[in-house]
Amino acid sequence: MNHYEAVFILNPVLSDDQVKETVKKFEDFLISQESEIISTEHWGLKKLQYSIQNKQSGFYNLIDFKATNTVINAFETELKRDERVMRYLNVKLDKHADAWSVKRRERNNKKV
């Protein structure tokens, strides 16, 4: 299994409940594909550098997980099909990025 991070931007017209429901949908999909979710972060509503679909902001979310390569293809298809997702990026982490990810999570846990 490889370590991945998925960052996706959701439409800003969604309510908080709809955002949580969408993130839960993607988490459930990964779990159903026998992936291991390490952490999920909701970064909130952020202003975009440039407009996407005539929107100036979006809800940013990050899912940190371990999965096989075949799961990533199916996960990207799910992201493409969902009309609430404006943009997404899946990144395979190497050992250095993996270590940085652990430090970032620990730092964020201390802030809370």
Alpha-carbon distance of 99 to 76, in angstroms, equals: 25
Confidence of residue 93 (pLDDT cuts 50, 70, 90): confident
pLDDT at 97: 77
Query: What is the tally of structural domains in the chain?
Result: 1
Can you give the CATH number for the domain in which 38 is found? 3.30.70.60
Per-residue H/E/C for 28-76: HHHHHCCCEEEEEEEEEEEEEEEEECCEEEEEEEEEEEEECHHHHHHHH
Containing structural domain, residue 9: 2-111
Give the pLDDT band (50/70/90) at residue 87: very high
CA-closest candidate to residue 12, choices 62, 53, 40: 53
Is 4 within 8 Å of 97 (Cβ atoms)? Answer: no
Tokens for 24, please give them: 């839960």
pLDDT for the residue 111: 67
pLDDT in tens, 19-77: 999 999 999 999 999 999 998 999 999 999 999 999 999 999 999 999 998 999 999 99
